[in-house]
Structure 1
Amino acid sequence: MGARSAPPLPLRFTLSFALSFAVLSGLCAPVATLAANPIVTDIFTADPTVLVDGPRLYLYTGRDETRDGEQGYKMHEWRVYSTCDMAHWQDHGVAATYRVFAWAKGDAFAADVVKHQGKYYLYAPVKHAGIKGMAIGVAVADAPTGPFTDARGTALVTNDMTRETPNDWDDIDPAVFVDDDGQAYLYFGNKVLKYAKLKPNMIELAGPIQTVGLFNFEEAPYLHKRGGVYYLSYASGLPEVIAYATGPSPTGPWTYRGVIMDKNKVTHTIHQAFAHFNGKSYLFYHNEALSNADFRRSVAVEEFSYGPAGEIPFVRQTTAGPQANPAAGCAAR
């Protein structure tokens, strides 16, 4: 299926000697450039999630290892990149693999990372070795780049805990949101959106798993907050588009607001994450730009501005990406 037979080009770090010197000096100097999409071009990446931590934005992705012409997902690890200007990215390598969880046997699917009380938590869907189907594990690290280790020794959510759908992959795509009062919420699901509160230790459920009725929900829930409004975005339909709803609390009630990114041309999935960084707003997603193949995806990003009533506009995919947006005093690490 893949149109490319040659390997992708290397990850971009610098565009000029002057910028290279600035990066080596530990500073991200202002540059008049665009952050070309896809962000990573030496491997195939998918399912982005992001974390803004101080002067840097951290991007976490899965890795598509399916070969050209093959079908199905082959994913074993989560990788991490960071930037201080949205144009140049530092590759921090592998943050974790599914083998971090001794009870798992494969499938490093779409994960999320949050920071809470000085620790970094990775919520990851993997195939359980002892219980049929997908499960969600939690790993913890002292730094945003890892290394992450299993925080529980057992799965947080297993397939036998949820009975809303007949498939055994409905406990995927975890997303964690920590509200201003410190309460953390876990969202996940395929076909049916589910959520639960987390205990302050971030590794135990604080109550029963609840279900939510959302228009044409497929998977990939993601919650962010702006101006007192909660934005719940998700992959809708199949092939997937990105849609969103808004509500007055982390649990709704939710009002459907529409589609904000169209389906991809080849790959039937799309997976979103939002960030507010250096005064600007960004939407991350994946497509098939490097491969023209369904299961060999690449992460990209677009800058956007909210509408006068706080609405998210329809965002078009570009190859140019956003303009450089450097943070003052950003040091490479």
Structure 2
Amino acid sequence: MLSKPLPRLLPSLALLLPLALALATSCQSNTPETDTAASGSQPAGAAPDSAGTKFLSKPLIKDIYTADPSAHVFDGKIYIYPSHDIEAGMPENDNGDHFAMRDYHVLSMDSIGGKVTDHGVALDIKDVAWAGRQMWAPDAAFKNDTYYLYFPAKDKQDVFRIGVATSTSPTGPFKAQPQPIEGSMSIDPAIFTDTNGGSYLYVGGIWGGQLQRWRTGQYDASNPKEQEPADNEVAPGPRVARMSSDMLRFAEPMKEVKILDQDGKPLLAGDKSRRFFEGAWVHKHNGTYYLSYSTGDTHLLVYATSTSPYGPFTYQGIIMNPVQGWTTHHSIIEQQGKWYIFYHDTELSGKTWLRNIKVAELPRNADGSFGTITP
């Protein structure tokens, strides 16, 4: 969920941004649950699209800015765990400091296209003892009659860690554990529970997500903020660890997930249209594990497949072409025999750090492969 300054956008993508941008004020909200229709009012200061851009879907809510939607079906109902974007008044930089989010809201809907309910603040950074700043993209799971919220935040030393909070309700409020998960790192936690009941946590994001600083297994503070391996070196992959039975700890050290091309060779760092950048999501279909993720600076959502939750995963293709805006982050669910992708863009604000979540049907072929959609 990292952003880069607008001048470094690919030229073709930059042309997609609205021609007229309005100043956006803070949209921090601590309101209790509210019902929001897709045609509801926009956040204060939001600019309607003025470039004639046509969008595949409309924002799910418009009274706060949301991004990085992790969607799950719990007891037949859809719950969405997004980031909550705010106008922090900070200049954009390569490290993503202007993404200064401070809390999480939980959204719900009975079905795709139905009314969306915002259940208010589920967890605030002031209630996370170890956290310093920047509550980025979360995810959630249900197990042991408990709902678990996994979230990244920078600790007091400005190192991203993964925390976990619990609740008896899918909408919270959530109570955070006093310390981050031991051995955790980086950003974008994605929790996957297999058909045999085992649960796995995937994490990782390069650049401001700091994954490149963990190449030796220890955090390297001296590594330049954007330093990746050389183009001819193997690209860093996300990390994965099986969770303990109580879902609060790792049952094993984190392992790197390898992503290969069709010839079985690891993707290289220079292969920027296929290599992992951030935003991993894992689901299982007909015995096959699907790893989907963002390519970051080439703005694609792509996927790879494996016979094991640990990988290696073999690259298969593009799920979604670039959205309006710099970042792209998603989740995939099945409901009533159809597949859907939740994602975000910047239709409401035209600003890369003030995003809005959306959902669209995701075409799936009989062999399990995905078609490519243009948002």
Q: How far did residue 253 of structure 1 move?
A: 2.4
Look up the match of 1:12: 36
Q: Which moved more, 1:65-74 or 1:53-62?
A: 65-74
- 1:239/1:4 CA distance change after superposition, 3 Å: farther
Aligned to 2:111: 85
Q: Counterpart of 2:126 in 1: which secondary structure?
A: helix
In structure 1, the gaps of 5 or more residues are 16-34, 163-170, 318-333
Are 2:327 and 1:269 equivalent residues in the alignment?
A: yes
Cα distance change on mapping 1:78 and 1:231 into 2, 3 Å: same
Superposed counterparts of 1:228-307, under 5 Å = 228-265=287-324, 267-307=325-365
Matched to 1:154, the amino acid is Q
In structure 2, how many angstroms separate the alpha carbons of the residues matched to 1:68 and 1:42?
19
Counterpart Cα distance in 2 of 1:133 and 1:68 = 22
1:60 lines up with 2:103 in the alignment: no
CA contact (8 A) 1:235 1:241 kept: yes
Q: Return the letter of the residue paired with 2:36.
A: R
Deviation at 1:69, TM superposition (A): 8.7
Answer yes or no: is the 8 Å Cα contact 1:100–1:148 preserved in 2: no
Is the counterpart of residue 182 in structure 1 residue 200 in structure 2?
no
RMSD over equivalenced CA pairs, Å = 2.3
Q: CA deviation at 1:239?
A: 4.1
Percent of matched pairs sharing the same residue: 33
One-letter amino acid matched to 1:262: N
Amino acid at match of 1:182: G
8 Å CA contact 1:11–1:42 kept in 2: the answer is no
Cα distance in 1 for partners of 2:90, 2:249 equals 41
Calculate the TM-score normalised by the size of structure 1.
Answer: 0.79
| Cα distance, 1:181–1:154 mapped onto 2, change above 3 Å | same
Q: CA deviation at 1:70?
A: 4.7
Structure 2 counterpart of 1:305, one-letter code: P
Residue in structure 2 matching 1:40, options 61, 74, 93: 61
Structure 1 runs (4+) greater than 4 angstroms displaced: 5-8, 67-70
Larger strand fraction of residues: 1
CA offsets 1:282-326 (integer angstroms, 9 cap, x no match): 001111111111111111110123112110110221xxxxxxxxx
User: CA contact under 8 A between 1:261 and 1:315: conserved in structure 2?
Assistant: yes
Residue 204 in structure 1 maps to residue 249 in structure 2:
yes
Query: Are 2:152 and 1:115 equivalent residues in the alignment?
Result: no
After superposition, the C-alpha distances for 1:259-292 in whole angstroms (9 at most, x for unaligned) are 1111233x22100101112332100111111111
In structure 2, list runs of 5 or more residues that go unmatched. 1-5, 7-19, 28-33, 40-55, 93-97, 207-235, 260-266, 268-274
d(CA) in 2 for partners of 1:288 and 1:59? 18
Q: 1:14 to 1:133 in 2, by over 3 A?
A: closer
Aligned counterpart, 1:315: 373
Structure number with higher relative contact order (C-alpha < 8 Å, ≥ 6 residues apart): 1
